[in-house]
């Protein structure tokens, strides 16, 4: 049980203007797209008659929770649905006590998280620092796991991406969008390894009958990442950095050695990994539109603000803090230039909802 860190960035801490706390409502709206579906699965599949609940306590973990407020809204929604199911099954309003574990990497801003905790919460709260690709809890401890908009961050970059002699050397790009197959495959096999570790850890921590809900970036079977709106965004990030190389602000070697550990899986891939693991039944697996509410064109400055709150630590670590403003300004301009292309790109079914149940 060593202190585990991953290559994935922590979100911007605190609750200032540029914080993830203030700039994560788009992520929340995306996750809300699937709220009713999750409620439905809880009502149908969470079976208290077959769930071991020691000391009348129901334990839920939100893995990759960041600093709030999204985690608090999600937890509240989940607890409502879980309570309703309990009352329905036992015809009583004498519900169990709830204990909620907020997990994220040790470098997450837990001070902000704890200071943002809802004052009138109806649960006991705890924070758990560590990577969700490792064990975080004792055996048979949890009843419900929620993991929203975070499992697409890999635990680490595939090493061959940085090897100049490998066909997977990812020169001039910072992601597998528009990259050779070797790069895409390196990302895919790292995701498969990570997901396997995630499922193995959870298979120990969850009681039999316990459930996992994953909301994550996804992609339709057989589609290329470059066909997605997010693909244009990653491409614009690469192009913005290469422009900055030309200006001498960053070096080419810096760009070549930088890759975002971000991977979107397809339902087929995910199904194969879960079935190979063998500890969980797939209760639901489907792709959703992450911006179902969006009727007009994308608001690019708003989008970049959210990207920045979620990703700037990665860029800061590699390129230094002084180029951040320049980079994100340039990205906004670049994306605006590609605005028409962006609108034509695929977006609809890129939010993957996976509901699993421990056998």
Q: Which residues bind a copy of itself (CB under 8 A)?
A: 1-3, 54-57, 97, 99, 101, 106-107, 109-111, 114-115, 117-130, 135-141
Q: How far is the CB of 55 from a copy of itself (least distance, A)?
A: 4
DSSP at 206: E
DSSP annotation string for 97-152? EEEEEEEE-TTS-HHHHHHHS-TT-SSEEEEEES-TTS--S-TT-EEEEEEES-TT
Residue tagged 């980079």 (tokens): 327
Query: CB-hemisphere CA count at 13 Å for 288?
Result: 23
Residue tagged 């608090």 (tokens): 72
Nearer to a copy of itself, 124 or 293 (CB): 124
Nearer to a copy of itself, 121 or 345 (CB): 121
Nearer to a copy of itself, 54 or 344 (CB): 54
Nearer to a copy of itself, 70 or 108 (CB): 108
Confirm if 152 and 216 have CB atoms less than 8 A apart. Answer: yes
Nearer to a copy of itself, 116 or 178 (CB): 116
Residues 6+ apart with CB under 8 A from 337: none
Q: How far is the CB of 291 from a copy of itself (least distance, A)?
A: 33
DSSP annotation string for 270-304? HHHHHHHH-SEEEEEEEEE-TTTT--S---HHHHH
Pull the structure tokens for residue 317: 């670590």
Q: How far is the CB of 147 from a copy of itself (least distance, A)?
A: 17
Q: How far is the CB of 120 from a copy of itself (least distance, A)?
A: 6
Q: How far is the CB of 140 from a copy of itself (least distance, A)?
A: 4
Confirm if 57 and 97 have CB atoms less than 8 A apart. Answer: yes
Nearer to a copy of itself, 126 or 224 (CB): 126
Q: How far is the CB of 127 from a copy of itself (least distance, A)?
A: 4
Q: How far is the CB of 155 from a copy of itself (least distance, A)?
A: 17
Nearer to a copy of itself, 35 or 135 (CB): 135
Determine the Cα–Cα distance for residues 267 and 248; give it in Å rounded to an integer.
Answer: 42
């Amino acid at each position: 049980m060593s202190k585990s860190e991953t290559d994935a960035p922590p979100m911007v801490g605190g609750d200032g203007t540029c914080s993830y706390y203030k700039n994560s409502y788009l992520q929340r709206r995306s996750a809300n797209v699937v709220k009713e579906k999750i409620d439905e699965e809880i009502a149908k599949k969470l079976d208290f008659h077959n769930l071991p609940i020691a000391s009348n306590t129901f334990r839920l973990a939100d893995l990759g929770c960041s600093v709030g407020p999204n985690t608090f809204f999600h937890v509240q929604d989940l607890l409502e649905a879980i309570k309703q199911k309990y009352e329905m099954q036992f015809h009583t309003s004498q519900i169990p006590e709830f204990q909620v574990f907020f997990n994220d990497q040790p470098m997450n801003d837990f001070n902000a998280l704890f200071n943002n905790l809802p004052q009138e919460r109806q649960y006991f709260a705890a924070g758990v620092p560590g990577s969700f690709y490792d064990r975080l809890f004792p055996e048979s401890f949890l009843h419900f796991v929620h993991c929203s908009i975070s499992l697409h961050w890999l635990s680490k970059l595939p090493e061959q991406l940085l090897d100049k002699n490998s066909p997977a050397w990812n020169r001039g790009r910072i992601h597998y969008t528009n990259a050779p197959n070797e790069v895409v495959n390196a990302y895919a096999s790292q995701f498969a390894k990570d997901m396997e570790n995630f499922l193995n850890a959870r298979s120990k921590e969850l009681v039999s009958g316990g459930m996992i809900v994953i909301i994550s970036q996804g992609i339709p079977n057989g589609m290329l990442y470059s066909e997605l709106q997010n693909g244009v965004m990653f491409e614009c990030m690469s192009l913005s950095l290469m422009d900055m190389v030309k200006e001498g602000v960053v070096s080419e070697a810096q760009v070549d050695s930088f890759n975002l550990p971000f991977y979107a899986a397809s339902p087929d891939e995910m199904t194969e990994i879960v079935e190979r693991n063998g500890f969980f039944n797939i209760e639901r697996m489907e792709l959703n539109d992450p911006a179902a509410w969006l009727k007009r064109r994308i608001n690019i400055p708003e989008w970049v603000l959210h990207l920045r709150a979620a990703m700037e630590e990665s860029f800061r670590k590699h390129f230094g803090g002084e180029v951040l403003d320049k980079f994100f300004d340039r990205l906004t301009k670049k994306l605006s230039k590609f605005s028409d292309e962006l609108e034509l790109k695929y977006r609809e079914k890129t939010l993957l909802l996976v509901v699993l149940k421990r056998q």
